[in-house]
Amino acid sequence: MKRTIIAFALGAMLFAICFSAEAQQAKKLYRIGYLSLGPGIGPVQEEFRKRLGELGYTEGQNLIIEWRFTKGERDRSPAFAAELVNLKADCIIAQGVNPAHAAKQATATIPIVMGNADDDPVRQGLVASLARPGGNLTGFTNIGSDLAGKRLELLKEAVTKANRVAILHSSGQTANSHARETKVAAPALNVQLQSVTVETADFLEKAFQIAKSWRADALIVVHVGLMLNLRKQSIALAAKMRLPAMYSDSQFALAGGLMSYSDDSLDRARRVANYVDRILQGTKPADLPVEQPKKFEFIINLKAAKQIGVTIPPNVLARADKVIR
């Protein structure tokens, strides 16, 4: 009888310990910081949220997301990064090179996941190498500037008369990389290129007027920085001035722009969530390689083409991954 009582007591004690451990684990509340140059929560952020939900994270129960959007004002990134550090975030997502630099300067201990380094993160000094990033920062690159030449090539094939192309972009290293790589590709395609820097939102319409007065046949709009926040205005102005435009992010074409060529931003958002989950479960950022895109999308919006009177050749339509009719 005594042995039975002792065994029962020990069993009850072990159960209580296990139950307590599970209860503590269930009560763990993770805090994620999200720093972006963008205007606010959009399709990419919603896809990130959705994937976290699939991985078992529910906002208000075991997850808090601290959103910080600079709305194109790069100078605000350091202050927002400091806020997230002071909030003791368990992990910080940095959407873009500028936020990644700000987060890295703000903390050497909190894990940082780059959501979309648009320029080479090694060249930017963010990581030691893609395979072995080192430190507390890892993540994803969308190799946006590396696709600049391909965008110009697709634009030229879609709009065969495009011999003069204006490239509209904001200031900063990453946007300049897009412009530089586009210029490299231009001579082989017999394209004259004019670069127009958009420093402020108020200058956007003037930038389009400059392109028009230069007699541009088409545009390339780089979505980095301020231009990311001027998506609707850029699409509207391109339609108003009847200028065919290629965009460096799929969200522009999906929102009414003529065409885009980029990595699959929603797929990347899911992969970012996967990295965040692994880090929250104990994996060190240094042990996670910086990954490059696995999926690319060439999107053509025929509604936009019809609006500005452009006919896309059938062979180009056949190459598109998605055609919006």
pLDDT category at 212 given cuts 50, 70, 90 is: very high
Q: Which residue has the higher pLDDT, 13 or 27?
A: 27
Lowest mean pLDDT: which of 101-115, 138-152, 227-241? 138-152
User: What is the residue extent of each domain of the chain?
Assistant: 28-143+264-295, 145-263+297-324
pLDDT category at 8 given cuts 50, 70, 90 is: low
Each residue of 17-61: pLDDT tens digit? 544 444 444 569 999 999 998 889 988 999 999 999 999 999 999
Q: Over range 213-228, report the average pLDDT.
A: 91
CATH fold of 28-143+264-295 reads: Rossmann fold (3.40.50)
Compute the C-alpha angle 235/196/180, nearest 5°: 105
Please give, one letter per residue, the 3-state secondary structure of 4-45: HHHHHHHHHHHHHHHHHHHHHHHCCCEEEEEEECCCCCCHHH
Closest CA to 277 of 56, 36, 35: 56
pLDDT at 100 over 80: yes
The yes-or-no answer to whether 28-143+264-295 and 145-263+297-324 have a common fold is yes
Each residue of 243-301: pLDDT tens digit? 999 999 898 999 999 999 998 889 999 999 999 999 999 999 999 999 988 888 999 99
CATH fold of 145-263+297-324 reads: Rossmann fold (3.40.50)
Lowest mean pLDDT: which of 75-84, 115-124, 133-142? 115-124
Lowest mean pLDDT: which of 162-166, 224-228, 248-252, 297-301? 224-228
For residue 22, what pLDDT is reported? 47
For residue 99, what pLDDT is reported? 95
pTM exceeding 0.85: no
The mean predicted confidence, pLDDT, of the chain is: 90
